[in-house]
Amino acid sequence: MCLRARNSVSEFICTKTITGPAAWLSTDYTDPDQWTVAITESDTTELFAALRSARGAGKALSEITRADFPLNELAKKLAEVSEDLVEGRGFVVLRGFPIGADIPRADIEMMYWGLCSHLGIPVTQNGRGEVIVPVKNYGNGGLLNASTRGYQTNESLPFHTDSSDIVGLLCLKSSGQGGLSSLTSSVTIHNELLRNHRELLGLYYAGFYYDRRDEQAGGEAPYYRNTVYSWNDGRLTCRYYLRNFIESARERYGIEVSPVERLALDTFESIANRGDFTLKMQIRPGDIQLLNDNSIVHARDAFVDTDEISRELLRLWFNPFGAPVPPAGHAAFREGMPVQQATAE
């Protein structure tokens, strides 16, 4: 292992404007066809064949790898999708995934898992070790309830990232109203911070303290620190977790948030919300929205369920094969949420 002295600011903080496909503006993407990839009839045939093969292996869903879920032409398509996600603009929508009412939920989940197993390695999303999590209104009181997480509410969620490198959202049901999705390149945000708010830049690299929302494993502190940006081996990555959890760590555990730290959070979100930076899209049933958390922050409008229809998405978190591991203190829970042991009584 080569230990290098790191003592110049450019080794810790990206001080150059980043160009390339990850640094996009909303004007670069005005046509959904630019980011939408259709799952064709023959792709669907491949998915069902792979489903039968995976069922034949007799494994639990979480043990299924891409070897257990053989795809052919669709695998090649997914390799291009992965390229766009990891090296390109950082977001893709797969359209036309089979979610028909005639398909058992377990089969939909297995095919979704199987498809994503060609894009990377899934990780756990909560203390119960769940790897496919329904994103819907759980009716447990919204984010003001200290144990509630964003995926369990129908509230608007301000710009944030999830924990893993890639988040997938398969839409099973839209809501009657709302739920519009907003995406902004966190690389573009960094460029803007560097250009017009350079004095704040170091704060994102120092990190903020977040409430674990009662998902700490035994002996862990109920909060953790995470850096918003990391610049490591010439690679800029971002993790901007829900800001509510910073205020929640302050309220519950007394972790101070200084005025200039709040200004940095305000500034980040204000830039993320700029019309020239943000792309809006509505996810429809059968869509899989794939986002690279390293380079995209996303937000969601509040939604309203009706008696007839309740919005439901299935979320998967995964890391691309061979993806670089971020430095300590950045991208907390990228490898999954720690699973809590059930206490014996």
Of these, 94, 131, 264, 281, which contacts its own copies (CB under 8 A)? 264
**Tokens representing 146?**
């200290």
Q: Which is nearer to its own copies, 143 or 257 (CB)?
A: 257
Among 302, 285, 284, 294, smallest CA distance to 32 is for 284
Paired residues of 121 in beta bridges: 319
Question: Strands 229-232 and 235-238: what pairing?
Answer: antiparallel
According to the binding rule CB under 8 A, does residue 135 interact with its own copies?
no
Contact region with its own copies (CB under 8 A), list: 22-30, 32-40, 95-103, 252-260: 252-260
- Rounded to an integer, what distance in angstroms lies between the CA atom of residue 239 and that of residue 139? 27
Give the span between the Cα atoms of 79 and 105, in whole angstroms. 26
Rule CB under 8 A: which of 181-240 touch its own copies?
Answer: 194, 197-203, 205-207, 225, 227
Report the residue number, 12 or 29, with the smaller CB distance to its own copies: 12
Instruction: Please choose, out of 131-139, 244-252, 261-269, 275-283, the segment that lies near its own copies by the rule CB under 8 A.
Output: 261-269
Q: Give 228 or 283: the residue with its C-beta nearer to its own copies.
A: 228
CA atoms within 13 A on the CB side of 72: 7
Number of residues that bind its own copies (CB under 8 A): 29
In a 10 Å sphere around its CB, with 0-12 CB exposed, 13-18 middle and 19+ buried, how is residue 68 labelled? middle
**37 vs 187, beta carbon nearer its own copies:** 187
Which span (11-19, 60-68, 244-252, 311-319) binds its own copies, by CB under 8 A?
Answer: 11-19
Find the length of the chain. Answer: 345
Q: What angle do CA 183, 108, 120 make, to 5 degrees?
A: 55
Assess 265 for contact with its own copies (CB under 8 A).
Answer: no
Least distance (Å) between residue 51 CB and its own copies: 46
Residue choice 6, 219, 342, 345 for contact with its own copies (CB under 8 A): 6
User: Does 15 help bind its own copies (rule: CB under 8 A)?
Assistant: yes
CB closer to its own copies out of 133 and 228: 228
Rounded to a whole number of angstroms, the minimum distance from the CB of residue 147 to its own copies is 24
Which of 3-11, 47-55, 88-96, 98-106 is the region at the interface with its own copies (rule: CB under 8 A)? 3-11
Calpha distance 337→150 (Å, rounded): 14
State the helix-helix crossing angle for 259-272 and 186-196, rounded to 10 degrees: 120
Token digits of residue 148: 């509630």
Q: Given the DSSP bridges, would you call strands 166-173 and 312-319 parallel, antiparallel or unpaired?
A: antiparallel
Residue type, 31: D
Q: Are 158 and 299 in contact (CB under 8 A)?
A: yes
The reply to whether 309 sits near its own copies by the rule CB under 8 A is no
When the beta carbons of 83 and 266 are compared against its own copies, the nearer one is 266
56 to each of 69, 74, 148, 292, how far by Cα in Å? Answer: 10, 20, 38, 32
> Residues 320-339 vs its own copies: string with x where CB under 8 A?
---------x----------
CA distance 293 to 304: 26
Residue 59, helix vs strand vs coil: coil
Instruction: Select 60 or 328, whichever has its Cβ closest to its own copies.
Output: 328
Name which position in 261, 269, 287, 293 contacts its own copies (CB under 8 A). Answer: 261
CB under 8 A: which stretch of 32-40, 148-156, 259-267, 296-304 binds its own copies? 259-267
CB of 212 to its own copies, least distance (A): 15
Laid out side by side, the sheet with 296-300 consists of 157-160, 296-300, 181-185, 278-281
| Interaction site with its own copies (CB under 8 A) | 6-7, 9, 12-13, 15, 194, 197-203, 205-207, 225, 227, 256, 258-261, 263-264, 266-267, 329
